[in-house]
Amino acid sequence: MNQTSDIKPHTTAMLVGPAAALMFGVFVLPFLFLLVLSFWSQVPGSLQFDTHFTVLNYARIFGDSYYLGGLWTTLWLSGLVTVICLILAMPLARWIVLRAGPAKGLLIGLSILPLVCGALLPTLGLVNLLSPLGFINGALKSLGLIQSSLPLLGNITGVAIGLVQAFLPLMILPLITTMERLPQDYEKAAMSLGARRLVVWQRIILPLLLPGIVAGSLLVFCASLTAFVTPQVLGQGKVVTFASLAYQQAALVLDWPFASALAIVMLIFLGLAGMLGALVTRKFGKAS
Amino acid sequence: MKSRFSDAMTFAVVLAILIFILAPILVLIFSAFDGGNIFRFPPRTYSLRWFEAAFNHPEYRSSLWISTLLGVIATVIAVSLASLAAFGLVRGRPRYRFAVEVLLLAPLTLPLVVWAIALLSIYAELGMNGTLTGLILAHVTITLPFAARIMIATLNEIDPRLEAAAKSLGATPAQVLRRITLPLARPGLLSSSAIAFLVSFNDVVVTTLIAGAGWITFPVRTFSRLRTEGIDPTTIAIGAMIVAFTLLLILVGQRLFQLSRRF
């Protein structure tokens, strides 16, 4: 008899079935419906759908500089947030894995805090820190570093700060997982053979960390691209991101076919980002 | 090779990044104790008046109650389903294990706002918009992946030989489950319940789209008030209690059952 599977196949299916059915029915099917819905239209003045096939929703997105501008802003903002998260998460994750010792678990626990606090509450704290009369401007003024308040709220800077704070855990966790698997001897061996620090990083550490870097970057990029609570609160309605446009259409305008088309466009860009990530991993991952 | 100076520099950088992650949460907690009429940090006068106001505010009270109820129901269902599935996948090792794991963990990587827009339209077609059932289904869906991930990691760590040994000594399957598997899986069950509850309780992205007028959770109420009236100190007081509770749960969970180990 098979030594590990001590439960019968049909018992397994019964155990796995409910969760799998729920996720398929409630999570996967809606995505398919979304695709169909994006080619429908709304009967004006009602919540009924006109089920005739149309590409008008997509034509509206790609023919209007308002939506294209929002898309462009969101794309470069997400890219910027991803890069900043990577720069900040790298030393933190490395320190937690190599140096933190017994404090490791606690530090991981604290780093995931923004993830379980939801999108809204930490953002409220940030509003206070970043506002013209807030803590950061106050501190800088009393130190004599600035004369008038820096505009940190209601613009792209504030939104970027908020997104980095909210999504840093998504970069930290995969990096920690990859770093834990990384044998430390490699680094020491290369150093003892006379390789310089930069060369060790370039030839040994980065290629080995690449899966974690790619996974973290994709998670942060995806989360930033589709965030709407943080941009809305910290941008104070002045920063138009793609997801907030989709949210407005779905929750306030109630044009669901158009909201679906906006959502599908987001998914396409996420798919492209995923393909880019796979490409980078294949090209550089096993180079060493 | 490594100087004490560069060690200190690294530590300073790491500390600064940690402060950046935690600052907004700590600011929220401290400024709730301010006696003034606006949201400010550092507080100038200390008072508990906004906490009192929060507890006397009927809308906030009902929202907190709804959030708690929804969080508890979603957690119980999600952790039960996820644990059964994880047990089946880890012990049964079916050929479809990888595919099902991808399916169960999908909401962790796919954008929830996109999904919520779809769900909103489907619920409208089915007449389920604004119903408690619809809301519970959605919350189970967003919390189940967290529970599944933790439970799969937990069960992977339990040596199946312990179960086999109990069985060979004459224990019935029910006894094996109650005496061996469940006690060993308890840290994982507690971790996944804590995380699932927090994710459900604090969710605003999905809930703000599909919650109708009848079931307004605390984050949804805060978000909608924020858009219309800005931030008021009552919101801050409740927000502070929630983040303080979240922080406490993570710290206690870490101490008692290494919450972050399987995350």
Is residue A2 very low, low, confident or very high in pLDDT (cuts 50, 70, 90)?
very low
Residue A237: closest C-alpha in chain B: B227
Rounded distance between C-alpha atoms, residue A8 and residue A15, angstroms: 11
- Only one residue has tokens 């389903």, namely B81
Is the bond preceding B42 in cis, omega lying within 30 degrees of 0?
yes
CATH number at residue A147: 1.10.3720.10
Question: Which of A68, A52, A170, A180 is CA-nearest to residue A112?
Answer: A170
pLDDT-based confidence at residue A165 (cuts at 50, 70, 90): very high
The confidence score (pLDDT) of residue A115 equals: 84
- B84, A26: Cβ pair inside 8 Å? no
Contacts of B192 in chain A (CB under 8 A): none
Highest mean pLDDT among A201-215, A228-242, B69-83, B146-160: B69-83
Residue B128 identity: M
> Are A110 and B21 a contacting pair at CB < 8 A?
yes
| CB within 8 Å: A229 and B223 | yes
CA distance readout (Å), A273 to A23, A45, A268: 24, 37, 9
Q: Which DSSP letter does residue B95 get?
A: T
The tally of domains found in chain A comes to 1
pLDDT tens, position by position, B44-97:
667 777 777 777 788 888 888 899 999 999 999 999 999 999 998 888 888 888
Strand partners, A41: A50
Q: Do A110 and B18 touch (CB under 8 A)?
A: yes
The pLDDT value given to residue B41: 65
DSSP B38: S
The structure tokens listed for A250 are: 């779905």
Contacts of A16 in chain B (CB under 8 A): 84-85, 88-89, 92, 94, 100
CB A122 to CB B119 under 8 A? no
Is residue A221's pLDDT more than 90? yes
In a domain, A20, yes or no: no
> Chain B contact for A151, CB < 8 A?
no
Write the residue in B39, B118, B239 that is nearest to A31 by C-beta: B118
Contact B117, A246 (CB under 8 A): yes
Is residue A177 one of the residues assigned to a domain? yes
Q: Report the share of chain A in percent with pLDDT over 90.
A: 22
Find all residues with CB under 8 Å of A76, minimum gap 6, and list them: none
In a domain, A250, yes or no: yes
SS3 A49: strand
Fold of B59-262: MetI-like fold (1.10.3720)
The number of beta carbons lying within 10 Å of the beta carbon of residue B65 is 12
pTM for the predicted model, two decimal places: 0.87
Q: What percent of chain B has pLDDT over 90?
A: 20
Q: Does A25 touch chain B (CB under 8 A)?
A: no
Residue of B111, B207, B114 whose CA lies nearest to A37: B114
Which tokens hold the place of B228? 């219309």
Distance from CA of B160 to the nearest CA of A (A): 7
A15, B87: Cβ pair inside 8 Å? yes
Q: Is residue A212 part of a domain?
A: yes
Q: CA of A89: which chain B residue's CA is closest? A: B17
Interface mutation vs chain B, best among A37, A111, A128, A242, most B CBs within 10 Å: A128
Contacts B89 to A, Cβ<8 Å:
12, 16
Chain A partners within 8 Å of B3 (Cβ): none
CB-CB neighbors (< 8 A) of B260 in chain A: 105-106, 108-109, 112
Residue B210 has phi, psi (to 5 degrees) of -105, -10
Contact indicator for A166, A112 with CB cutoff of 8 Å: no
Domain that holds residue A148: 70-284
Q: What is the ipTM of this complex?
A: 0.84
Cβ–Cβ below 8 Å for A19 and B148:
yes
**Chain B hits for A24, Cβ within 8 Å:** 103
Task: Report if residue A168 sits inside a domain.
Answer: yes
